[in-house]
Structure 1
Amino acid sequence: MTATDRDRDILARTLWGEARGESLAGQIAVACAIRNRVDDGKTKSWWGEGYAGVCQAPYQFSCWNKNDPNFAYLSGAKQIPFRELAQARIAADQVIDGKVPDPTGGATHYYAITMKTPPAWAAKAKQTLKLGNHVFFKEVP
């Protein structure tokens, strides 16, 4: 699949919204989980199509929910700090361009360990990686 400039921008903004405090490696891991959804092998995925479709699918990445405080930044109403967005763009480009291996082992889900309670789906899924403040999973029921 060929990624558009919009796909790259939406992925970078999603990385900022979901993982702005993480290292470049942490943002790459989140981007790989998103890429794994994009490349799930289905013609019409319920996760959405393409990077923008997957990132902005309703209730998949909370930073895109209109009631999330990050949404004002992601939608352009407020400006994302340049250096933070620049790192997210590097991670997005490296993942989209296939320049980095998937450190998540095929994960399609993750959650931030800062959550008070892990999501229910995590109990039956296969954990593949813990990196920074995120735990990654595949085979999510």
Structure 2
Amino acid sequence: MTFTPLRVGAGALAAVLLATPIVTAGSGAQAQDRAEPVEQTPLEQVEPLSPPEPQVRFVASETVQEITPEQAAADDVAASDAATLAELVAETDTSALAPEVRCLAQAIYFEARGESLEGQLAVARVIINRAESDAFPDDYCSVVTQRSQFSFVRGGRIPEPGAGAAWTRAQAVARIAHRDQWDSPAGDALYFHATHVRPRWAGRMTARATINRHIFYR
């Protein structure tokens, strides 16, 4: 859960870290204040992300993922006349996702597939905002696999989602978020947690939005 982009087509990918927290299938956060549950709620909940402690920035070994011309073209901004987010999701092609956009889609799937499309977009917005911030790694995959941020990540690896409508929607939302085609109430949020917990760090943050079962902060 309580889970900002180097646009894949924009240049090289490097990783940056600031020990901080993130978001639906239950995430943990680094150096996190464990929140006491207020009530028991079903899966698809995010654990609170705790704010960073030391402001340490470092660049990991450089990695370059090859992007095919098809992927680069597919992730270019595409104009749309969609009147709603649902319409935009329905018309968005989910083929040929670039590796970074796929990481974003996987995070959406495992953290927020039980949320509304707006809730999924908000989770994607947090990851993109982190990738754009100097306080976090510089690309989606590194943000998602940052230590102790997302509980679905095991040993630095993101599991493969199952095929189905939920995965297709997550891929569409990821591409829409990456293209910045739809505004999210989460705005510039860098953190979020499930509404059924009360992390102590939340009192030091400014709430940006409450969407479904998540509260988003900056």
User: Which bin holds the TM-score, normalised by the shorter protein?
Assistant: 0.7 to 0.9
Per-residue CA shift, 1:9-55, capped at 9, x if unaligned? Answer: 11111111110101111100110111111111x2xx4x222011111
Say if 2:118 and 2:184, in contact at 8 Å, map to a contact too.
Answer: no
- Percent identity between matched residues is 27
In 2, the alpha carbon distance for the partners of 1:58 and 1:64 equals 9
Whose RCO is larger (CA < 8 A, sep 6+)? 2
1:43-62 correspondence runs (5 A): 45=135, 47-62=136-151
In 1, the alpha carbon distance for the partners of 2:176 and 2:184 equals 11
Structure 1 residue identity aligned to 2:188 = G
> 2:153 maps to what in 1?
64
Give the number of aligned pairs: 124
In structure 2, list runs of 5 or more residues that go unmatched. Answer: 1-5, 9-66, 68-97
Runs of 4+ in 1 over 6 A off after TM superposition: none
More helix by share: 1
Structure with bigger gyration radius: 2
> 1:86 maps to what in 2?
168
Say if 2:132 and 2:138, in contact at 8 Å, map to a contact too.
Answer: no
In 1, the alpha carbon distance for the partners of 2:7 and 2:129 equals 15
Across the aligned residues of Structure 1 and Structure 2, the Cα RMSD in angstroms comes to 1.8
Structure 1 residue identity aligned to 2:129 = N
In the superposition, the TM-score normalised over structure 2's length comes to 0.53
1:31-46 correspondence runs (5 A): 31-40=124-133, 42=134, 45=135
Structure 1 residue identity aligned to 2:114 = G
